[in-house]
Amino acid sequence: MMQATDKQENPTRSGLVTAPELKRHGFFRNVFSGIKSLLEGMKVTFHYLSHPSTVVTQQYPENRATLKMMERYRALLTMIHDENGLHKCTGCQICHDNCPNASINVVTRSNPVSGKKELDRYIWRMDSCTFCNLCVQVCPFGVLKMDGSFEGAVYDRRLFVFTLNHYAGPAAGLLAKVADPEERKKMIEPRDRYSGPVPLNGQELAGVKALKKAESGCCGGSGGCCSDSQGSQGSKEMK
């Protein structure tokens, strides 16, 4: 009994921390304090009313044509192509190895003319990407960048898995060494956004079911144009 009484009289001995009591003021003082706090908060609002050019709130979607996201904003991984439509990717797969959750699949091939290893398809899974920017940082050739195109909402999750490169073939540096234009054309093959091993072309991935040809709304379930029709729609929505 003596020990219990001792703990109650000295709560700090048992390791308990008591909260300090708030000082109570009079009624009028509380009213004036509330009004002062309200005016301090409204100071920002009054400033924007008198200086509309400093408003940082974006009037979206009314300003969609002129809206530009911050430079560091990450929304859409893209592969940089030059004015001739060529890229610098060699298919080294460094970005693939450094991706923390396997959102990148770099498919390589042997060139039909030179026999050298080169990029076939660069497939990116936007649905599982964490936008950590590691792929952009580790790329030794500066091929990748994060675009600010934030309007990426779609009705089908399979539209989030697509190919970034426009063609399969050597990098721009190697193609520049080929003087004959006809020989250069033989070394490259065009690549569609939703072709290859992606769900819209029949390839099932973890968490994403493959599109079947018999699904309703795709050419009546008779042809193989499901990926083409869905792909064109998804390409428009992703832009």
Q: Is residue 113 part of a domain?
A: yes
Q: Is residue 224 part of a domain?
A: no
pLDDT of residue 6: 47
Number of independent structural domains in the chain: 1
Cα separation of the two ends of the chain: 76
Mean pLDDT of the chain: 82
pLDDT of residue 29: 86
pLDDT of residue 23: 72
* Lowest mean pLDDT, pick from 169-173, 193-197, 204-208: 204-208
Q: Confidence band (pLDDT; 50, 70, 90) for 213?
A: low
Q: Is residue 199 part of a domain?
A: no
User: For residue 128, what is the domain's CATH number?
Assistant: 3.30.70.3270
Domain housing 88: 76-194
pLDDT of residue 223: 37
Q: Is residue 211 part of a domain?
A: no
Q: Is residue 20 part of a domain?
A: no
Whether pLDDT at 8 is above 80 = no
pLDDT of residue 106: 96
C-alpha to C-alpha distance for 44 and 66, rounded to whole angstroms: 26
pLDDT of residue 15: 66
Q: Confidence band (pLDDT; 50, 70, 90) for 13?
A: low
Q: How much is the average pLDDT of 39-58?
A: 85
Q: What is the pLDDT of residues 83-126, one digit of tens each?
A: 989 999 999 999 999 999 999 999 999 988 888 899 999 999 99
Q: What is the pLDDT of residues 138-167, one digit of tens each?
A: 999 999 999 888 888 899 999 999 999 999
pLDDT of residue 235: 43
Q: Is residue 63 part of a domain?
A: no
Of the two residues 103 and 24, the one the predictor is more confident about is: 103
Q: Is residue 55 part of a domain?
A: no
Q: Is residue 43 part of a domain?
A: no
